[in-house]
């Protein structure tokens, strides 16, 4: 099982670990781990295109949270514009791909924001329902990504996660 899948499974375990009264530490780690599951899924998918397998781990270290969020924000907005201009009356391959990309980009941004709250805002309490809801969103993003991973638009998205080209 790939690392990202292990992280997603771990997040579910943490969120359901205590049967009756979940600890904030468990819920916060569950939220944070779910974000990292999606983070690592996207990095793994992007580095998978690199021909030299021995260099993939080194390439993966070039990805940055802020740049990935900026790329996801941009992709989310592009998908929204496209989806608003093309109502789903006659779904085609492009429409389906853009819908899935929107789910992935939107979820990445939300998960990163929630991870930040879970890791740094001790005044914000977490409930099991709230944590599991976020984990479910990440799980849906996993499914969306895997449905379109070979589409040219998804391939373009992978490259954009590294950041904006200079010049």
**pLDDT band at residue 50 using 50, 70 and 90 as cut-offs:** confident
In a domain, 166, yes or no: no
Among the listed residues 107, 116, 118, 112, the one whose alpha carbon sits nearest the alpha carbon of residue 142: 107
Residue 59 CB partners (closer than 8 Å, separation 6+):
47, 50
- pTM of the shown model: 0.92
Which residue would you say has higher pLDDT here, 164 or 95? 95
Q: Is 167 domain-assigned?
A: no
Domain count, the chain: 1
Domain that holds residue 86: 3-160
pLDDT tens-digit map of 66-122: 999 999 999 999 999 988 886 665 556 788 899 999 999 999 999 999 999 999 999
With a cut of 80, say whether residue 10 has pLDDT above it. Answer: yes
Task: Compute the distance between CA of residue 12 and CA of residue 101 in angstroms, rounded to an integer.
Answer: 23
N-term to C-term CA, the chain: 40
**Among 22, 57, 10, 31, residue whose Cα is nearest residue 128:** 22
Task: Evaluate whether 15 touches 128 at the Cβ level (below 8 Å).
Answer: yes
Q: Are 109 and 69 in contact (CB under 8 A)?
A: yes
Copy the structure tokens of residue 26.
């468990």
- Is residue 43 within 8 A of residue 62, CB to CB? The reply is no
């Amino acid at each position: 099982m790939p690392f990202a899948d292990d992280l997603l499974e771990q997040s579910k375990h943490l969120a359901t670990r205590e049967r009756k009264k979940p600890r904030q530490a468990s819920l916060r780690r569950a939220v944070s781990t779910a974000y990292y599951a999606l983070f690592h899924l996207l990095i793994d998918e992007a580095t998978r295109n690199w021909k030299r397998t021995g260099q993939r781990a080194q390439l993966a270290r070039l990805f940055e949270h802020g740049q990935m969020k900026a790329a996801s924000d941009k992709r989310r907005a592009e998908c929204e514009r496209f989806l608003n201009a093309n109502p789903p009356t006659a779904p085609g391959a492009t429409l389906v791909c853009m819908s899935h990309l929107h789910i992935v980009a939107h979820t990445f941004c939300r998960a990163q924001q929630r991870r930040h709250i879970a890791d740094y805002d001790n005044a914000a309490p977490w409930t099991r329902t709230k944590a599991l809801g976020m984990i479910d969103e990440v799980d849906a993003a996993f499914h969306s990504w895997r449905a379109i991973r070979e589409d040219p638009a998804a391939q373009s998205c992978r490259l954009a996660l590294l950041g904006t080209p200079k010049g």
